[in-house]
């Protein structure tokens, strides 16, 4: 009888240890899942921005970035974290994209200078829970770049407004 009385509280102690470990593991898995969702949202954001940039005028950079933003953008992500670049046939940046004879063959959208911040449970990762996100980028073949059909009466190109 004395032996049983000494072990009366051991069940609650064991349950507390096991339950707290399991809850910690479950919340860490949820946090990793949310992080993965945000990485996929960034990847989709570059795809969407590159697609919009292939059909909009090259001088509409800020408009293209704002059109690409969606409701699934991670917190802290702004249009300043999205770079759009126009590339030549060799894959190098075109120096003067506004020139009439600019040899633009590709459009590249890229996530730049964005850091993701983990919340409570995983804040030991990186620098106080803040880690640098890899540079997601999407490169697509340039299409109309905002130039529509030629106006038959003047012979000039008609520009499509992406605003």
Whole-number pLDDT of residue 137: 92
Whole-number pLDDT of residue 157: 64
Whole-number pLDDT of residue 148: 64
Whole-number pLDDT of residue 86: 92
The neighbouring-strand residues paired with 37 are none
Return the closest-CA partner of residue 114 out of 151, 69, 83.
Answer: 83
Task: Locate all alpha helices (DSSP H) within the chain, ordered by sequence.
Answer: 2-6, 10-55, 61-68
Contacts of 152 (CB under 8 A, 6+ apart): none
Whole-number pLDDT of residue 45: 93
Q: What 8-state DSSP symbol labels residue 1?
A: -
Q: Are 97 and 58 in contact (CB under 8 A)?
A: yes
pTM of the shown model: 0.78
Whole-number pLDDT of residue 159: 62
Q: Which residues of 49-146 form beta strands (DSSP E)?
A: 82-87, 106-111, 115-117, 130-132, 137-141
pLDDT-flagged residues of the chain (< 70)? 1-7, 100, 126, 147-152, 155-161, 163
Q: What 8-state DSSP symbol labels residue 100?
A: T
Whole-number pLDDT of residue 158: 62
The neighbouring-strand residues paired with 84 are 109
């Amino acid at each position: 009888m004395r032996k049983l009385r000494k072990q009366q509280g051991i069940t609650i102690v064991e349950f507390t240890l096991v339950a707290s470990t399991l809850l910690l593991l479950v919340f860490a898995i949820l946090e990793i899942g949310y992080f993965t969702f945000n990485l996929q949202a960034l990847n989709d954001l570059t795809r969407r921005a590159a697609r919009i940039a292939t059909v909009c005028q090259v001088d509409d950079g800020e408009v293209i970035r704002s059109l690409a933003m969606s409701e699934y953008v991670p917190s802290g992500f702004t249009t300043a974290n999205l770079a759009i670049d126009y590339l030549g046939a060799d894959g190098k940046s075109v120096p003067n994209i506004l020139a009439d004879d600019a040899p633009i063959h590709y459009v590249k959208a890229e996530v730049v200078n964005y850091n993701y911040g983990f919340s409570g449970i995983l804040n030991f990762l990186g620098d106080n829970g803040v880690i640098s996100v890899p540079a997601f980028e999407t490169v697509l073949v340039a299409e109309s770049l905002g130039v529509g059909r030629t106006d038959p009466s003047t012979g000039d190109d008609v520009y499509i407004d992406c605003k």
